[in-house]
Structure 1
Amino acid sequence: MAVLSDILSNINDERLTQLLIDAVDQYSPSYAEEPAMAIFADRLAAGGIAFQRQPVAERQDGSSHGNLVVSLGPGPAELLWVGHVDTVGYSDEEQDTRLEGDILYGLGSADMKGACAAAVEAVVATVESGVELQRGLSVALVVGEEEYGDGAQTLREHLDAPLTVVGEPTGLAPCLDHYGYYECRLSARGTQAHAALPEFGASAIHDMLAWMMEILDVAGGADTPRGMVVNPREISGGAGGFVVADSCEALLDVHVPPVSGPDEIEDLIDQARTRAQATNRATALQYERLFWAPGFSGQHDSDLLPPLRAAFDARGLAWQPAVFRSHSDASYFQRRGALTMVCGPGRLEVAHTRNEHVELSEVREAARLYAAMIFEACIRNPAH
């Protein structure tokens, strides 16, 4: 009878570390993921593991082969593991990938090439062990998560499973609850005037700032009862020259608790606009919803949880469910009758920063935890 140690004994930490370093070395922002995807594809091919490339319909330029999907065992899949290989863009011409002791620095190390490398190593170790899967396993490396999730949406059209694990950075905490994400464009239209005589015009920039401050005040932040997190991502306006600006636009990101919806956010924006216009009536303030991804509250007593809890127990890790406070591809896979969990190495607070890093010891543990999930969900006899 197969035991978990049969798989764990085949995990190669040196191979895992090199895979991660090679992947982080490849600059792979959204729509340019192929260099990093090729690193993972080569590792799978070297292990004799078949995979498919899944084209993403919205991408017609031929620069990307889309998602990479590994399917093992009898279908349909019981467990689906999902990770993205794209990163945010970087303003510097060169990446600074460096290893200092147990810490690997570099764009994408935490978000989320560390998890992708760990999952690939878990798959390679499972195949090398010769253990036969009793239920199906799918592992998908997707594109486009840092934009609007076109890779995950394509994957979801063709594949799902009762259990889905998304490897976003959580410090290996199991996150069953997930924030929602809202994005909108604010616009202000004022009246141009000579800069020396602003009282004869209406500054769109001034009134946009007033509106923005009201939004931030009403939202309150993560530690308030409302729990909304507002990020003014971009603001632009003005016509140049020595004039009062008659136009201004801003992009706003809003992360909200699992039970919140877009109507609640837009009520907040409306309230803030009313307050801003109480003293700035000469400017027209409008907004447009650009994107909404719902959050979800996990089923903490779900019948689907035992394999995941057993994997944590097998690795001696505490089962302390947490909330994932960002947007991720997980929102595409959560549905009635299924369970989606976010769990991966690294910390969200260092992702998207110049100091992004991940502890290699945590990546190594992630590979073993993912292997335990594979064993519990796809190999172990349910009677045990």
Structure 2
Amino acid sequence: MRQIPNFVQSLQQLIASPSISSTQESWDQGNSDIINILATWFETLGFDINIQPVPGTRNKFNLLAKLGSGEGGLLLAGHSDTVPFDENRWQSDPLKVLSKEDKFYGLGTCDMKGFFAFILQACEHIKKQDLKKPLYILATADEETTMAGARYFSENQFVKPDAAIIGEPTNLVPVIMHKGHMSHRIKVQGKSGHSSTPEFGVNAIEIMSEVITALLQLKQTLSLNFQNESFDVPSPTLNLGAISGGDNANRICGQCALDLDMRALPGMADSELIQLLAECLAPLAEKYPGRITFDELHPSSPSFEQAKESELATLSEHVSGHQCCAVNYATEAPFIQQLGCQTIVMGPGSIAQAHQPNEFLAFSEITKTQHMLEKMINHYCY
């Protein structure tokens, strides 16, 4: 019988298998290597393996592993990709695990390849015949960009577990609410010309300045009219992230573009924010006919909320020793929740380490995470 690696060995193999997701094609990588590694390990443990190509991606795949039979059960989910990195800002090789000062350093140690190393060890001694309900392991593609893997999985309704745990780094604090995320690009089409004769041109930057004024008014409106005190930033947010336009100081700017993101509170539909954005820009669109447009930059991610009174939320508080909370960032939770299961976000490591140079997973997380996984598997599958 083939042997599975121990925790450190599995973590080393996962980190050494690069699977960067990026909107820049030069950085973007496929994830087939890490999916095949996970498939081999879980197949060795007796899981049935289903590898799914994710449409619309560059050679990306989801993995669904299943142990046991019947309805319901537990889904343990995570993403197989990482963000890009700047090697010059790392004090060690990002693709090699460095054990130092009671920490494992490496790209993806906490966000979130390390979670699969924990799952592997928790599953090592499970006997299929003892399970009353199935245990599922899901590894998705492209969470760091489009969330294409989770979208595809939820749209096809491959399984319907009783509960799902997404192991994003939360310091094992159960997260039952988070904001959504959407990003748009506003374009202004002017008319270029020589700066000495402004009457013959239309300056796109000047129009964009009016757009920005309107957006800042919308930002204030959102802050005043929508509040959820569960969040440390209690209102929806609107961020002006990037702007570009023009080509020379002595030219009338012919084009200008502004990229922004908006983060909706639970209970706010994406369509509601888009409507507010459209209404904000409508007077200027009327003032400058045909010159102002806005388009989605990336598919939006909806907000997420799991009822605090649910069995999973109550159990997660008991197992973790932490109260449920809300966070400002987005995860795959709303897509997994669409399977019809109770869903929480809870995993080892700190979100403060995610997307940072010298990302690490503390040794102190190991025993606590193994305890959490064993308790959850026992509750939902035995």
Correspondence list, 1:18-167, <5 A: 18-30=9-21, 31-45=29-43, 47-58=44-55, 63-64=59-60, 66-90=61-85, 92=87, 96=94, 97=96, 98-127=98-127, 132-156=130-154, 157=156, 158-167=158-167
Instruction: Find the aligned partners of 1:271 and 1:263 in 2 and give their Cα distance.
Output: 12
The answer to whether structure 1 residue 250 and structure 2 residue 258 are counterparts is yes
Instruction: Find the aligned partners of 2:268 and 2:344 in 1 and give their Cα distance.
Output: 19
For 1:238, the equivalent position in structure 2 comes to: 246
Give 1:259's match in structure 2, choosing from 259, 267, 271.
267
The answer to whether structure 1 residue 285 and structure 2 residue 292 are counterparts is yes
Letter in 2 for 1:173: V
Pick closer, same or farther for the CA change 1:213–1:79 going to 2, 3 Å: farther
Instruction: Find the aligned partners of 1:104 and 1:195 in 2 and give their Cα distance.
Output: 57
Pick closer, same or farther for the CA change 1:206–1:75 going to 2, 3 Å: farther
Confirm or deny: 8 A CA contact 1:44 1:124 kept in the other structure.
no
Residue 169 of structure 1 deviates from its aligned partner by 1.9
Point out the more displaced range, 238-247 or 360-369: 238-247
Instruction: Find the aligned partners of 1:199 and 1:119 in 2 and give their Cα distance.
Output: 67
Residue 281 of structure 1 deviates from its aligned partner by 5.6
Deviation string 1:295-352 (CA, Å, 9 cap, x unpaired) is 23222222x43xx6446535xx324111132222211122496311111122223322
What's the TM-score once normalised by structure 2's chain length?
0.79
Residue 287 of structure 1 deviates from its aligned partner by 1.1
The 3-state SS of whatever aligns with 1:251 is strand
For 2:237, the equivalent position in structure 1 comes to: 229
Correspondence list, 1:159-178, <5 A: 159-178=159-178
Instruction: Find the aligned partners of 1:328 and 1:353 in 2 and give their Cα distance.
Output: 17
The 3-state SS of whatever aligns with 1:18 is helix
Confirm or deny: 8 A CA contact 2:79 2:142 kept in the other structure.
yes
What's the TM-score once normalised by structure 1's chain length?
0.78
Residue 85 of structure 1 deviates from its aligned partner by 0.7
Instruction: Find the aligned partners of 1:142 and 1:36 in 2 and give their Cα distance.
Output: 11
Instruction: Find the aligned partners of 1:141 and 1:112 in 2 and give their Cα distance.
Output: 10
Confirm or deny: 8 A CA contact 1:312 1:369 kept in the other structure.
no
Confirm or deny: 8 A CA contact 2:179 2:264 kept in the other structure.
yes
Instruction: Find the aligned partners of 1:229 and 1:170 in 2 and give their Cα distance.
Output: 22
Give 1:313's match in structure 2, choosing from 313, 318, 322.
318
The 3-state SS of whatever aligns with 1:40 is helix
Point out the more displaced range, 170-179 or 118-127: 118-127
Pick closer, same or farther for the CA change 1:221–1:373 going to 2, 3 Å: farther
Identical columns (%): 24
For 1:6, the equivalent position in structure 2 comes to: none
Point out the more displaced range, 235-244 or 184-193: 235-244
For 1:7, the equivalent position in structure 2 comes to: none
For 1:382, the equivalent position in structure 2 comes to: none
Instruction: Find the aligned partners of 1:151 and 1:122 in 2 and give their Cα distance.
Output: 24
For 1:211, the equivalent position in structure 2 comes to: 211
Residue 79 of structure 1 deviates from its aligned partner by 1.1
Instruction: Find the aligned partners of 2:334 and 2:269 in 1 and give their Cα distance.
Output: 13
Letter in 2 for 1:245: C
For 1:367, the equivalent position in structure 2 comes to: 370
For 1:9, the equivalent position in structure 2 comes to: none
Pick closer, same or farther for the CA change 1:219–1:51 going to 2, 3 Å: farther
Letter in 1 for 2:119: A
| Structure 1: tracts of 5 or more residues without a match | 1-11, 380-384
Point out the more displaced range, 89-98 or 130-139: 89-98
Instruction: Find the aligned partners of 2:212 and 2:19 in 1 and give their Cα distance.
Output: 33
Instruction: Find the aligned partners of 2:148 and 2:217 in 1 and give their Cα distance.
Output: 33
Point out the more displaced range, 355-364 or 246-255: 355-364
For 1:301, the equivalent position in structure 2 comes to: 309
Instruction: Find the aligned partners of 1:131 and 1:52 in 2 and give their Cα distance.
Output: 17
Pick closer, same or farther for the CA change 1:135–1:352 going to 2, 3 Å: same
Confirm or deny: 8 A CA contact 1:51 1:68 kept in the other structure.
no
Pick closer, same or farther for the CA change 1:131–1:16 going to 2, 3 Å: farther
Confirm or deny: 8 A CA contact 2:48 2:67 kept in the other structure.
no
Pick closer, same or farther for the CA change 1:117–1:211 going to 2, 3 Å: farther
Deviation string 1:55-91 (CA, Å, 9 cap, x unpaired) is 2251587x44x22222112222411111111122335
The answer to whether structure 1 residue 184 and structure 2 residue 191 are counterparts is no
The 3-state SS of whatever aligns with 2:73 is strand
Instruction: Find the aligned partners of 2:12 and 2:213 in 1 and give their Cα distance.
Output: 42
Pick closer, same or farther for the CA change 1:126–1:285 going to 2, 3 Å: same
Deviation string 1:113-139 (CA, Å, 9 cap, x unpaired) is 122222222222435xx8811211111
Letter in 1 for 2:263: H
Instruction: Find the aligned partners of 1:137 and 1:82 in 2 and give their Cα distance.
Output: 11
Aligned residues: 356
For 2:25, the equivalent position in structure 1 comes to: none
Confirm or deny: 8 A CA contact 2:54 2:149 kept in the other structure.
no
